[in-house]
Amino acid sequence: MRVATGNTTLRCDYCKSVVVTKIDDPGLHYLDQILGELNCPVCAVPLWSATLAGLNLCACKRCSGMLIRMGLLEEIIEDLRSAGVESEIPSPPDPDDLQRRIDCPQCRKLLDMHFYYGGGGSVIGGCEQCSLNWLDGGVLMRIARAPHRDDAQADAW
């Protein structure tokens, strides 16, 4: 493992796994239900039912990764931003994150790793077939804290 992406993650050069050293997803509440049929694509342990910003998702208690339905991701980010999450300039993304090979917890097919288009310099995994996104622990807050269009317009005035 080596330190990568602005000293916030560790990366295995062999398997391309990423371990987030600063887990910072406030408001994530784990429920008392283990989802035995869905395993974390990073840790291979069962995912838990969880809520964030009043919306349901699945999360890993070990790595804090999150499995979020595609339609909910933007809603959660907007809820976090409207709750007053402070903006910060993210460290540059690590292009090697695009080479990670992890499977969708639902269909077990390879996730499409891509940069999140809404800022934050973060790579997320997506499964179009299942309409699911995988975010490593800490990535959601990194995205929510990234300067976004509303901040830029407010600064321009």
* pLDDT for res 146: 86
* pLDDT for res 41: 94
d(CA 142, CA 33): 27
Q: With 90 as the cut, is the pLDDT of residue 39 above it? A: yes
Task: Calculate mean pLDDT across residues 83-98.
Answer: 78
Query: Which DSSP string do the residues of 62-81 spell out, in sequence order?
Result: TT--EEEEHHHHHHHHHHHH
* pLDDT for res 128: 96
Determine the distance from the C-alpha atom of residue 13 to the mean position of all C-alpha atoms in its chain, rounded to a whole number: 20
Task: Calculate mean pLDDT across residues 31-39.
Answer: 81
* pLDDT for res 22: 43
Question: Residues 145, 122: contact at Cβ < 8 Å?
Answer: no
Q: With 80 as the cut, is the pLDDT of residue 74 above it? A: yes
Classify burial at 9, counting beta carbons within 10 Å of its beta carbon; exposed 0-12, middle 13-18, buried 19 or more: buried
Q: Which residues, in sequence order, are CB contacts of 30 under 8 Å at separation 6+?
A: 48, 49, 50, 59, 61
- Amino acid residing at 119: G
* pLDDT for res 3: 52
The 10s digit of each residue's pLDDT in 107-148 is 999 999 999 887 778 899 999 999 999 999 888 888 888 886
* pLDDT for res 67: 95
